């Protein structure tokens, strides 16, 4: 596919997706959804990748929401079709085998908030703003917002954000647990790079299994979640990474004992 509304590159085991509609604050259009689906298909097939970074072009917006011009045309049938397509796309992003970092560089409103919440981590610049503002348009979040926001910040805060649609700043987003870290605008990608470096230094399968266990467990009862965790732990015990990790730990302990004449 010839990408018109996003930029995509792979570099040193990392996939970088930049939403590239700065003239409309990177709003999510139907065409952009199609392009994101194609990019995610490429990422799903690439076993060499260790992380994904998603951001928006410019310094004003990560993604400002859905394209209002297209919203005008939606009736019940089209609305159902589009929300299901976007829900499935964001679930694919959430459930990728590798971590996904949202570098939130400005407004993350409506669909932008929903996209950021589908990512594993959210690192925000100090000028970032967040809102589930759909109610002000006479609709509700439709790409996972009512579900993921509740799971991230709790029912009370999620209801406040969804029912009032007010914008919160990066500091408040950090306080309620919506984002992982807030940094100055000019340090955003530097911080993202530091997180990517941490991810790449860790065993890939352990990261994959841990992420899957948390994501699946969030939607299961405790007993089912524990059973799935046990299954993934057992799988991890069969990997070369586990053998090398344990051996390295034991060797480090042996050297420490020798160095201290113990």
Catalytic residues: 114, 134
Order of strands across the sheet that contains 107-109: 61-63, 107-109, 129-131, 168-169
Instruction: Give the integer Cα–Cα distance in Å for 214 and 112.
Output: 23
Alpha helices, H only, the chain: 30-45, 68-71, 76-94, 111-118, 145-153, 155-164, 170-175, 188-200, 204-217, 222-236, 240-259
Using alpha carbons only, give the angle 171, 176, 181 rounded to the nearest 5 degrees.
50
Distance of CA 20 to the CA centre of its chain: 18
7 sits in which H/E element: strand 6-11
| Distance from C-alpha of 234 to C-alpha of 224, rounded to nearest angstrom | 15
Contact status, residue 79 vs residue 126, Cβ threshold 8 Å: no
Q: From the CB of residue 142, how many other CB atoms can be counted at a distance below 10 Å?
A: 20
User: Residues, the chain, total?
Assistant: 262
Is the CB of residue 138 less than 8 Å from the CB of residue 75?
no
Picking from 115, 99, 11, 4, the residue whose alpha carbon sits closest to that of residue 55 is: 115
């Amino acid at each position: 596919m010839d990408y018109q509304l996003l930029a995509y590159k792979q570099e040193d085991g990392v996939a970088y997706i930049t939403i590239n509609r700065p003239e409309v604050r990177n709003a999510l259009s139907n065409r952009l959804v199609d392009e994101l689906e194609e990019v995610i298909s490429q990422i799903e097939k690439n076993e060499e990748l260790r992380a994904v970074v998603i951001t928006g072009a410019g310094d004003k917006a990560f993604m400002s929401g859905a394209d209002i011009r297209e919203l005008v045309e939606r009736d019940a049938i089209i609305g159902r079709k589009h929300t299901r397509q976007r829900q499935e796309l964001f679930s694919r992003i959430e459930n990728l085998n590798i971590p996904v970092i949202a570098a939130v560089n400005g407004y993350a409103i409506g669909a932008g908030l929903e996209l950021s919440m589908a990512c594993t981590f959210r690192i925000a610049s100090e000028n970032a703003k967040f809102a589930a503002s759909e109610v002000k348009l006479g609709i509700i979040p439709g790409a996972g917002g009512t579900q993921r926001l509740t799971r991230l910040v709790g029912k009370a805060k999620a209801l406040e954000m969804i029912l009032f649609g007010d914008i919160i700043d990066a500091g408040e987003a950090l306080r309620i647990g919506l984002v992982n870290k807030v940094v100055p605008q000019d340090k955003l990608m530097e911080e993202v790079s530091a997180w990517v470096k941490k991810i790449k230094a860790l065993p890939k399968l352990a990261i994959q299994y841990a992420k899957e266990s948390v994501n699946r467990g969030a939607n299961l009862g405790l007993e089912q979640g524990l059973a799935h965790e046990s299954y993934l732990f057992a799988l991890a015990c069969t990997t070369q990474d586990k053998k090398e990790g344990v051996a390295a730990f034991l060797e480090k302990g042996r050297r420490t004992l020798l160095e201290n004449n113990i």
